[in-house]
Amino acid sequence: MKILILANKLPFPPRDGGSIATLNMMLGLQQAGNQITCLAMNTSKHRFPVEQIPQALHQRIRFLAVDVDTSIKTRKLLLNLLFSRLPYIAERFRSKAFSLALQELLKEGPFDIVQFEGPYLFFCLEQLRKESKARISLRAHNAEHQIWKRMALQENFAIRRWYLNNLARRLREFERGVFDRVDTIIPISEKDASCFRDQGTDTPMLTTPAGLNLEDYPLTGMPSGSSLFFIGALDWLPNQEGLSWFLDQVFEPLLEELPEIGLHVAGRNAPRPFQKKLLHPNITYHGEVGDACSFMQSHGIMVAPLWSGSGIRIKILEAMALGRPVVTTETGIAGIAAEHLRTVMVGNDPQSFKDLIIRLLKNPGDWTGMAAEARKLIIREFDNFKLSSRLSQFYKAQA
């Protein structure tokens, strides 16, 4: 089959969870015998020269990119708030240049499947129906409205809480409209699939988690010393929220018991006020790291304190694949069939989160078996080729 992937950011380099999920699935679909083309927005936030994508990757996937300015504009945000029912977070991806590039691409020949990576390129739907006979699929990385709804619940500032609730309501209606206009939905977790069904859609679905290529995640020994790490994009509000909670309510009390402990933080685009929060003698802020696996292999215990979001946390999967112990929350392991004390450790309040870290640090033997079980889980449930082959068969049946 010929499959066209439409993405609102270029999935290279694969440093964040969304890019990893998109690129791995494209590689898996290609390996399963399909011809893959990716048309992506090249935004200022995630800009990367297409010509610098490795030639070996170009030989497997055709990459096309369109420069699009998706930055937040205050005037447009206010006009959207006052005169539109669409969520601004989606409307800012509307692009004439992208539509023209899609038009030219469709003239080259027919596609069997067009897969949207998330709902934000909704403005292409009508164009695709007019100019292509392809079946249209939405790969839903998250239940987007749920992220903003949970963030609103955590917000104390009244005006900001009102705006987040407004955005969550708009996103819910927006998603529901997209669900009814596509031919198939590919949720990334069963929890998200249930959420979509609860919204009333009867569009055919196949839950397909993000997969990993296990050969990219060799098991290595644990480094010596008391070392914690956090990795995640720090321009994403759920990561800021979770790390702030950890620093304020867990890390400071932890230092009282283990004053020598160190925390290594990796993540791109941390706002300046947040960077100030990381100015601490026991914290090393690395910014965006070029090789996430090497970063995780260099440190000991992953802390993943997450309270908002949906989908699957790719970085947690990667840490589990690498044999690194993970201390997280129930939200952090949503979509992952992980068991507390067997494959990960789950703490949902400051005291239990802190106690679990201390337990791991004082009893290194505890994580040996846990790491082995976590690796088995990744092999069993998140093998990229198996997941992509199943999706390929689903698409063949739909087409």
pLDDT of residue 153: 81
Amino acid at 115: Q
Question: Which positions ≥6 away from 226 have C-beta within 8 Å?
Answer: 258, 260, 261, 262, 300, 361
**Looking at the domain covering 2-211+383-398, what would its CATH class be?**
alpha beta
What is the mean predicted confidence (pLDDT) over 52-70? 96
Q: Residue 283 in 3-state DSSP?
A: strand
Q: Residue 113 half-sphere exposure, CB side, CA atoms within 13 Å? A: 29
What is the mean predicted confidence (pLDDT) over 340-364? 92
Mean pLDDT, the chain, rounded, equals 92
What is the mean predicted confidence (pLDDT) over 264-290? 93
Question: Which positions ≥6 away from 64 have C-beta within 8 Å?
Answer: 37, 38, 39, 40, 50, 101, 105
Q: Which of 34-38, 154-158, 306-310, 336-340 has the lowest mean pLDDT?
A: 306-310
What is the mean predicted confidence (pLDDT) over 150-170? 88
What gap in Å lies between CA 13 and CA 279, rounded to an integer?
Answer: 28
Other CB atoms within 10 A of residue 260 CB: 8
Q: Residue 245 in 3-state DSSP?
A: helix
Local confidence band at 243 (pLDDT 50, 70, 90 cut-offs): very high
pLDDT tens digits, one per residue of 76-120: 989 998 999 999 989 999 999 999 999 999 999 899 999 999 999
Contact 72, 52 (CB under 8 A): no
**∠ CA 218-291-385 to the nearest 5 degrees?**
50
Query: Is residue 223 over pLDDT 90?
Result: no
What gap in Å lies between CA 374 and CA 320, rounded to an integer?
Answer: 5
What is the mean predicted confidence (pLDDT) over 304-318? 87
pLDDT tens digits, one per residue of 116-133: 999 999 899 999 999 999
**∠ CA 278-16-236 to the nearest 5 degrees?**
50
What gap in Å lies between CA 326 and CA 316, rounded to an integer?
Answer: 7
Query: Is residue 321 over pLDDT 80?
Result: yes
Sheet holding 262-266, edge to edge: 283-287, 262-266, 227-231, 301-304, 326-328, 345-346
- How many helices (H) and strands (E) would you count in the chain? 17, 12
Query: Is residue 375 over pLDDT 80?
Result: yes
What percentage of residues in the chain have a pLDDT greater than 70?
Answer: 99
Amino acid at 89: I
pLDDT of residue 179: 93
Residue from 150, 159, 120, 158 nearest 138 by CA: 120
Domains 2-211+383-398 and 215-381 share a fold: yes
Domain layout of the chain by residue ranges: 2-211+383-398, 215-381
Residue from 344, 93, 328, 325 nearest 227 by CA: 325
Stated as kind and residue range, the H or E segment containing 239 is helix 237-246
Query: Is residue 226 over pLDDT 80?
Result: no
User: Based on C-alpha coordinates, what's the Rg of the chain?
Assistant: 21
DSSP 286-314: EES-S-HHHHHHTSSEEEE---S--S--H
Q: Which of 10-14, 267-271, 360-364 has the lowest mean pLDDT?
A: 360-364
**Looking at the domain covering 215-381, what would its CATH class be?**
alpha beta
Look up the pTM and report it. Answer: 0.90
What is the mean predicted confidence (pLDDT) over 322-346? 91
What is the mean predicted confidence (pLDDT) over 138-144? 89
Q: Of 147 and 278, which is predicted with more confidence?
A: 278
Local confidence band at 366 (pLDDT 50, 70, 90 cut-offs): confident
